[in-house]
Amino acid sequence: MAEYQPAETAFALDRDCKTLGRHVLEQLQSFSPEAQDLSALMGRLALAGKLIARHLSRAGLMESALGFTGTTNVQGEAVKKMDIYANDVFISVFKQSGLVCRLASEEMETPYYIPENCPIGRYTLLYDPIDGSSNVDINLNIGSIFSIRRQQGEDRDRSGQDLLQNGHQQLAAGYILYGPSTVLVYSMGRGVHAFTLDPSLGEFILAAENIQVPGHGPTYSVNEGNFWQWDDSIRDFTRYVHRHDGYSARYTGALVADFHRILLQGGVFLYPATQKQPQGKLRLLYETAPLAFLIEQAGGRASTGSQEIMAVVPTHLHDRTPLVIGSTKDVALVEAFIQDKPPAIPRHHP
Ligand code: AHG
Ligand code: MN
Ligand code: MN
């Protein structure tokens, strides 16, 4: 009897079967309790992404989905309704999951505990529910950033002290980018992988596996409106790129979107110290450490300018760090300026 031959549609079917859930299990190569936990965690994160994407796609049609709440968060930043919606989505999807005892987010002063999970919930989720909030009301790119850490100790006094450790303690990290399509990018320490949401299936389908950031790229991404608030070294870096061919400025106001471009095409994103924010704007546990985890997995680098981001140990939950992240060569160039070893600017340049 002749062996069955799949039809020509098999390629498309194979692609559609490469779901996030299947990929995570393949990555883990084990059915150990921890592998099953991580797989369930990723499934819940995907659900959070789908819920937020759905809400965003209709936000302009709904009463009271957009705009400010009128309050400020622990960072002193004006809170948008979407920040709160997304913050609560993550809490809801992890309730009764048995996976996560604590969630720490930039929108909450102290971690949120799910007491019924705490006897068994061995993980903590750290997240930025909406990254790029200034883009929300104008229908531009925004994201969510997440990081998973193993809970150490019982944290009976609910101080979250064990979270004050470096980025190497992260088990997994990633982000969801809400753009023309919804994309989820994650790493569990075995490469960086991207998935696109197929809304008709309700599944994230593999789009790119083992992403490697180019060693150098054309993009520099920084808010040059802060020029006069920067240290001289950062001003000199921007003068350098202005005077050299091959650089292009891109800045969306959403770190996730700017990072995604650089991950795929190379270049450097920076949010350096400013006079108003001497530690920069971005938060270590919810923003810079998760993206540092990803870029290192993709063969790039993340630095404060003088230290690897992954090595930074916070003193407080909401600590900020300056950030220089992207292609190794471009990060090194920015560091050279910061460390007072800039390359020579050719004479014929103005
Ligand atoms: P968030 O919306 O979570 O507060 O983060 C906004 C961050 C980041 O996404 C972006 O790169 C940066 O803030 C933009 O800040 P500026 O407006 O100061 O450039
Ligand atoms: Mn953010
Ligand atoms: Mn945010």
Q: Is the per-residue pLDDT at 346 higher than 60?
A: no
Is pTM beyond 0.85? Reply is: yes
Counting ligand 1 atoms within 8 A of each CB, the residue from 72, 105, 131, 226 with the most, and so the one to mutate, is 131
Whole-number pLDDT of residue 165: 97
Give the pLDDT of residue 130: 98
Asked if 91 contacts 112 with a C-beta cutoff of 8 angstroms, the reply is yes
User: What would you report as the CA-atom Rg of the chain, rounded to the nearest whole angstrom?
Assistant: 21
| Strand positions, DSSP E, 201-294 | 203-208, 219-221, 248-249, 267-271
Best residue among 82, 90, 223 to mutate for probing ligand 1, ranked by most atoms within 8 Å of CB:
223
Gap from CA of 256 to ligand 2 centroid (Å):
8
List of residues 6+ apart from 118 with CB closer than 8 A = 101, 154
Contact 42, 171 (CB under 8 A): no
- How far is 298 from 211, CA to CA, in rounded Å? 6
Query: What pLDDT does residue 49 have?
Result: 98
Residue 235: the pLDDT is 98
User: Residue 128: CB within 6 Å of ligand 1?
Assistant: yes
The model's pLDDT over 174-217, given as tens digits with 9 standing for 90+, comes to 999 999 999 999 999 999 999 999 999 999 999 999 999 999 99
What local confidence, expressed as pLDDT, does residue 12 receive?
A: 79
254 Cβ inside 6 Å of ligand 1: yes
Contact call for residues 111 and 134 (beta carbons, < 8 A): no
Q: What is the pLDDT of residue 230?
A: 98
Please give the average per-residue pLDDT across 88-116, as a whole number.
94
Q: What pLDDT, on the 0 to 100 scale, is given for residue 167? A: 98
Spatial separation of the C-alpha atoms in residues 93 and 114, rounded to whole Å? 11
What average pLDDT does the segment 295-314 reach?
Answer: 98
Q: What pLDDT is attached to residue 234?
A: 98
pLDDT of 110 > 60? The answer is yes
Assess contact for 242 and 171: CB atoms under 8 A: no
Query: How far is ligand 3, taken at its centre, from the CA of residue 227, in Å?
Result: 23
Residue 281 has pLDDT above 60, yes or no: yes
Q: What pLDDT does residue 62 have?
A: 85
pLDDT at 150 over 60: yes
44 CA from centroid of ligand 1 (Å): 26
Amino acid 107 reads E
Sign of the CA dihedral 179, 180, 181, 186? negative
Query: To the nearest whole number, what is the mean pLDDT of the chain?
Result: 93
Cα(155) to centroid(ligand 3), Å: 26
Distance 305 CA to ligand 3 centre (A): 23
Residue 347 has pLDDT above 70, yes or no: no
**Ligand 1 pocket residue status of 83, Cβ below 6 Å:** no
Residue 229 has φ and ψ, to the nearest 5°, of: -100, -5
% of the chain residues with pLDDT over 90: 76
Q: Is the beta carbon of 131 within 6 A of some atom in ligand 1?
A: yes
Burial 293-314 (b: 16+ CB within 10 A, else e): bbbbbbbbbbbbbeeebbebeb
| Any atom of ligand 1 within 6 Å of the Cβ of 253 | yes
Please determine, for residue 349, whether its predicted confidence score (pLDDT) is greater than 60.
no
The Å distance, Cα 72 to ligand 2 centre, comes to 15
Query: What pLDDT does 345 receive?
Result: 63
Q: What percent of the chain has pLDDT over 70?
A: 98
Any atom of ligand 1 within 6 Å of the Cβ of 133: yes
Rounded CA separation 279/132 (Å): 19
Cβ of 132 closer than 6 Å to ligand 1, yes or no, is yes
Residues 224-242: pLDDT tens digits?
999 999 999 999 999 999 9
7 — pLDDT class (breaks 50, 70, 90):
confident
Specify the higher pLDDT residue, 313 or 152: 313
> Does pLDDT of 171 surpass 80?
yes
305, two tokens: 């300018």
pLDDT at 270 over 90: yes
Give the residue whose CA is nearest to atom 17 of ligand 1.
Answer: 253
What domains can you pick out in the chain, each with its CATH number?
A: 15-208 (3.30.540.10), 219-338 (3.40.190.80)
pLDDT tens-digit map of 24-52: 998 888 778 888 899 999 999 999 999 99
